[in-house]
Structure 1
Amino acid sequence: MNRIALVPGADVWEEIFTDKHLDRLRQLGELVVNPVPGNPDKHRIAELVREADIVITSWGCPPFDSDILREAKHLKFVAHAAGTVKGIVTPELIERGVRVSSANDPLGVGVAETALGLTITALKRMWELARSTREGFWDEGKERIREMFDITIGVVGAGRAGRHYIRLLKQFEVDIVVYDPILSHEEAVTLGCRKVELEELLRQSEVVSIHAPSIPETNHMFNARTLSLMKDNAILVNTARGSLIHEEDLVRELAKGRFIACLDITEQEPPSKDHPFRSLPNVILIPHIAGAVNNGKQRLGRFVADEIGRYLAGEALEGEVNLQNLHVIA
């Protein structure tokens, strides 16, 4: 029987895996769990993965270096119950030929849904109208409302979250354009959108939603030059990574009152209490909730249990990561 080691701290995995998910894992193999809360150190991980064929990781797990792999002589598959696997993958793991799967797909569902919510909220100017009605007004500001109709929405990055956001947008009468250097024109058409260059996307779009990975090539891709290309009264949504935006440049552009920014993340989290994002009237700032929160984390548990089932059945994995392309993915 295959041995499955669930190695994140108990406070982490208990929020991801319900009793139903754990029962499913026990049907698939001998399950060993980490009973201790807090981020596990390498010594604890090494103990847990001894004799394990499959390891489940998540937030707070250390890199699987030679110290850990020395004990994991039977390890063939790592199922990561979180997004990026860059924090756990090492050259030693790659050399060992261990297959790795990420829960980026279910995580991307929550990101995309949040991006859509921010898109509609900003178009409807809900945060502004909610404030004015509390202050005793009623109709003031309604003339600035826009609907999800006959507008162009630009999607920057067609990874898991970006693609799901596009699928959600297809329920509305909007034109969708996408910028992603890796995506082909044919793939874009299949997704139901049109591939364009970044500059064209920024000039055309009423809404720009960022879903690109945080890699050196995307660092501060939204800067003084690119932000200046955006339309007046446009909406910028970032549920990806804070590093994609040059914050000082964005603050200067927002101070002009030209457009709205909806930010789920910032470069430093939390931002300082006097950060302009907290006080600018054309910013919607929320505390990094776009991914999996509360019951949303259980979507990851279901995915990982199913993914291990697919692995053991010899089926194609839905979240397998091509470790040779690790430098260009989220």
Structure 2
Amino acid sequence: MGVKIAILPEPRIQERIFDDSHWKQLEAIGTVVRNVKEGSPQPETLKEVIAGADFAITSWGCSKLTQDILDRTPGLKAVMHAAGTVKGIVTPELWERGIRVSSGNGPLGRGVAETALGLTITSLKNMWQLSQTTRGGGWNAGKERIRELYQVTVGVIGAGQAGKHYIRLLRNFEVTIMVYDPIMTDAQATELGVIKAELAQVLATSDVVSIHAPSIPETYKMFDRDRLALMKDDAILINTARGSIVDEDALVEELRKGRLFACLDVTDPEPPAPDHPFRSLPNCILTPHIAGAVNNGIKRIGQFAIDEVKRVLAGEKLQGEVKEEQMSVLA
């Protein structure tokens, strides 16, 4: 018997994450069974598609892989989640049966990190204001506020997949990188070439603070009034993680003082109300949750899932493997 790969997301999601080259790769590995029913996959559909599979690929819209679904596929080796968090699909039965789980947080994190770097450069360069000035007929007003990504301190909050890649990108510049991550070891900090520090020190020292922490109870409104007050005047706050990590009322207060500049790709809730101050404050750049993967970038996640299947078959280490003990600290 050859390898069977079950594609569980609905067709609309399949089209987002896979193109013709991806289907050819999958068919070269083995038999591919696809969910052909529109709409969020229902349990009966999942049972039908996953039956007898060696691998399952999930994505947005897929529900939890419960015991009755897994009973249909006793030989399942691994689930490759072509999306971010696996919390929507994982059940205790997966771990009990020794089924491996891989998350697409890695490729998603690359997109997040690249976006954060772009926001870092454009904000330090004061491009947002200068663009408005030149549109209005001006030219030089605001140039005195330009800063280069040189001999400044960048604070990174959270060194997961996105945070680590952001750090790797920053190492192309002559900057000091400080990191707050309670899980990071001193050895890991040394390997990354960063200074590990407590949150208060990172906030008080950094010219740019980029949030890459997971949305877990411990990070809910982590950036509250007191912590935002620690940040330097003219510091830049970038949030490409989750809106819930920032106390938005407190941030609005700071922005109204004109003390900080914020780039927010995420809010809580999304979208913010039409009259929310984030939409009108001149020192707040608001984008519609585009940091992770959009349009052609989403195909990166599909390729990653396929590569993870290939790694299992080759006996290689999974790059996105998620362990049961990690679930409490993952987004």
> Considering the TM-score relative to the shorter chain, is it more than 0.5?
yes
Deviations 1:121-145, CA, capped at 9 Å, x for gaps: 1111111111111111111111111
CA contact (8 A) 1:111 1:239 kept: yes
* 1:217 is aligned to 2:218: yes
Shift of 1:105: 0.9
- 8 Å contact kept, 1:12–1:37: no
Aligned residue for 1:229?
A: 230
Q: Confirm or deny that 1:41 pairs with 2:17.
A: no
Percentage identity across paired residues of the two chains: 59
Residues of 1 paired with 2:20 and 2:75: CA distance?
27
Moved more, 214-223 or 86-95: 86-95
Question: More displaced, 311-320 or 92-101?
Answer: 92-101
Partner of 1:157: 158
CA-CA distance at 1:20 after TM superposition: 1.1
SS in 1 for 2:79: strand
Whichever residue aligns with residue 303 of structure 1, its letter is F
1: CA distance between counterparts of 2:197 and 2:55? Answer: 42
Could you list the runs of 4 or more consecutive aligned residues of structure 1 that deviate by over 4 angstroms after TM superposition? none
Aligned counterparts of 1:120 and 1:245: Cα–Cα separation in 2? 22
Amino acid at match of 2:261: I
Q: 1:76-112 CA distances to partner (integer Å, 9 max, x unpaired)?
A: 2100001110110012222222100011111111000
Give 1:232's aligned amino acid: D
Q: Tell me what 1:253 maps to.
A: 254
Q: How does 1:149-298 map to 2 (within 5 A)?
A: 149-298=150-299
AA matched with 1:302? Q
What one-letter code is carried by the residue in structure 1 that aligns with 2:287? I
Q: Does 1:7 align with 2:18?
A: no
1:18 is matched with 19
Tell me the distance in 1 between the aligned counterparts of 2:109 and 2:14.
Answer: 19
Q: Which residue of 1 aligns with 2:312?
A: 311
Aligned pairs (5 A) from 1:49-68? 49-68=50-69
Letter in 2 for 1:292: A
Deviation for aligned residue 1:204:
0.3
**Structure 2: stretches of 5+ with no match in the other structure:** none
Question: What TM-score, normalized to structure 1?
Answer: 0.98
Report the count of equivalent residues. 330
Secondary structure at the residue paired with 2:177? strand
- Please give the alpha-carbon distance, in whole angstroms, between the structure 2 residues aligned to 1:75 and 1:257: 56
TM-score normalised to structure 2 length: 0.98
Return the alpha-carbon distance in structure 1 between the equivalents of residues 132 and 20 of structure 2: 42
SS of aligned partner of 1:149: coil
Q: CA RMSD in A?
A: 1.0
**Paired AA for residue 25 in structure 1:** L
- CA drift at 1:241: 0.7
Q: What secondary structure is seen at the aligned counterpart in 2 of 1:324?
A: helix
Query: d(CA) in 2 for partners of 1:291 and 1:328?
Result: 19
